[in-house]
Amino acid sequence: MEQLAKELAEANVGKVLIKEPLARHTTMKIGGPADIMVIPNNAEAVQNTLRLVKKHGTKWTAIGRGSNLLVSDKGIEGVVIKLGEGLDHLEAEGTRVRVEGGYPLIKLATLLSRQGLAGLEFAGGIPGSVGGAVYMNAGAHKSDMSEVVTRALVMFEDGEIEWLTKEELEFSYRTSVLQTKRPGIVLEAELQLKEGEREQVFALIQKNKDYRRETQPWNHPCAGSIFRNPLPNYAGNLVERAGLRGYQIGGAQISPMHGNFIVNTGTATAQDVLDLIAFIQKTVQEQFGVEMHTEVEIIGRQ
């Protein structure tokens, strides 16, 4: 790892951090160290990072703003590539938008709404990056990224870069081909929006933001929705009907505000959260016969 870190630094790929705690890079404020973390300064730096990772036969993981992640207490093996500053270019031409993967989704939705562009109102309260949102087909308020993405520029682990169309991305509920068949990093996304009335679009964005603020515990460290909705049921409703709202294991607590959120009360470990997830799954299965599957991505050493 020392030699790889040295070569990454010499390749000028951006910031290279050793044993960086992932708790500093996730919205849940949980996670052990990354062997090496790279914060690339451009797309070429991502490519050079993957080239060196492949040369050394090392594992790699890509993250964005860390809003849908539960990272193991033991951290992540290999190289963690964090997309953010350096991969946050935005270009809008009419109703067509090209935006790099590190751009914050809430910032994008708000900015475009002020220009009277409609289609991203649902994203007004989703605290992730564009790349992560495409990767998991993030959504809310009965819409998601598949409604606006026309194609995405993806870098695969061999360093090859390819534009994937909406159809090739194989979007479905909270997932895409990048999760299931073709692991890759979203460098850029192209969105097709619509012309709207500026005041109306911006008002709807604010309404969605306010709804999240009033009904979800984003003022506490959390990772967003823990479970996928087992339609026609809703995960939060099942948890609350099971009488689990506020239930706590260690420093991890089911939010008193919303049954599908687990918050870090200040001392939570990843194991606390995993134990609470397992308890919820067991309880809901016993009471309602419904199997609960996680939406939050659980990564790192086990």
Which residues have a Cβ under 8 Å from the Cβ of 44 and sit 6 or more positions away?
A: none
Instruction: Report how far residue 97's alpha carbon sits from residue 26's, in angstroms, rounded to the nearest whole number.
Output: 27
Q: For residue 174, what pLDDT is reported?
A: 87
The answer to whether residue 113 is catalytic is no
Q: Cβ–Cβ contacts within 10 Å for residue 12, how many?
A: 11
Q: For residue 101, what pLDDT is reported?
A: 94
Instruction: Report how far residue 90's alpha carbon sits from residue 110's, in angstroms, rounded to the nearest whole number.
Output: 13
Instruction: Report how far residue 298's alpha carbon sits from residue 74's, in angstroms, rounded to the nearest whole number.
Output: 12
Q: Cβ–Cβ contacts within 10 Å for residue 61, how many?
A: 19
**Residues forming a β-bridge with 172:** 175
CATH class of 235-299: alpha beta
Instruction: Report how far residue 116's alpha carbon sits from residue 250's, in angstroms, rounded to the nearest whole number.
Output: 46
The answer to whether residue 174 is catalytic is yes
Topology of the domain covering 2-82: 3.30.43
Q: For residue 219, what pLDDT is reported?
A: 85
Instruction: Report how far residue 299's alpha carbon sits from residue 70's, in angstroms, rounded to the nearest whole number.
Output: 6
pLDDT for 190-243, tens place per residue? 999 999 888 888 888 888 888 888 888 888 999 989 999 998 999 999 999 999
Indicate whether this model's pTM tops 0.85: yes
The ranges assigned to domains in the chain are 2-82, 90-215, 235-299
What single-letter DSSP state applies at residue 164? E
Q: For residue 45, what pLDDT is reported?
A: 95
Q: For residue 210, what pLDDT is reported?
A: 83
On whether the CB atoms of residues 268 and 276 are closer than 8 A, the answer is no
**Mean pLDDT rounded to a whole number for the chain:** 94
* Active-site residue, selected from the candidate residues 67, 72, 129, 225: 225
The answer to whether residue 146 is catalytic is no
Kind plus residue range of the DSSP H or E element containing 215:
helix 198-215
> Which segments in the chain show pLDDT lower than 70?
none
* Active-site residue, selected from the candidate residues 174, 176, 188, 190: 174
Instruction: Report how far residue 43's alpha carbon sits from residue 222's, in angstroms, rounded to the nearest whole number.
Output: 29
Topology of the domain covering 90-215: 3.30.465
On whether the CB atoms of residues 169 and 178 are closer than 8 A, the answer is yes
Kindly list the strands in the beta sheet with 60-63, ordered across the sheet, starting from the edge strand earlier in the chain. 14-21, 33-40, 76-82, 60-63
Identical fold, 90-215 and 235-299 = no
On whether the CB atoms of residues 79 and 60 are closer than 8 A, the answer is yes
